[in-house]
């Protein structure tokens, strides 16, 4: 497994964890939208704006659609995860454990 594949597996794991939290506590979607708003305010116009617009729409829609978009294993899915506000819903300690797990899996392959 190359480094990019390792990072994508890590990102998928983080997004699975974040979506599980959203299913338990739907109000977390608003927290993710606030993160997007803060990013936009801090960065001004960026090339990520189109993707952030897509995230904003997904976060106000059905959870199943959000989940499908966040977990799709495609080039667009990877791109979306790279600018996703959902990772902020997973505590740092959990993200570090997931990263360690991804590294261990990569070492086995």
Angle at the Cα of 106 (from 101 to 109), degrees rounded to 5?
Answer: 130
Residues 31-88: tens digit of each pLDDT: 999 999 999 999 989 999 999 999 999 999 999 999 999 999 999 999 999 999 999 9
**How many structural domains comprise the chain?**
1
96: containing domain = 3-108
Helices 63-71 and 49-60: crossing angle in degrees, nearest 10, is 140
CB 28 within 8 A of CB 89: yes
């Amino acid at each position: 497994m190359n480094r990019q594949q390792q990072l994508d597996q890590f990102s998928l794991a983080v997004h699975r964890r974040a979506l599980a939290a959203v299913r338990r506590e739907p109000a977390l979607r608003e927290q993710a939208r606030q993160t997007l708003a803060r990013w936009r305010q801090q960065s001004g116009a960026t090339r990520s704006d189109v993707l952030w617009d897509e995230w904003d729409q997904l976060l106000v829609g059905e959870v199943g659609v959000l989940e499908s978009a966040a977990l799709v294993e495609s080039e667009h899915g990877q791109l979306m995860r790279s600018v996703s506000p959902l990772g902020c819903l997973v505590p740092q300690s959990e993200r570090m454990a997931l990263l360690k797990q991804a590294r261990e899996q990569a070492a086995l392959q």
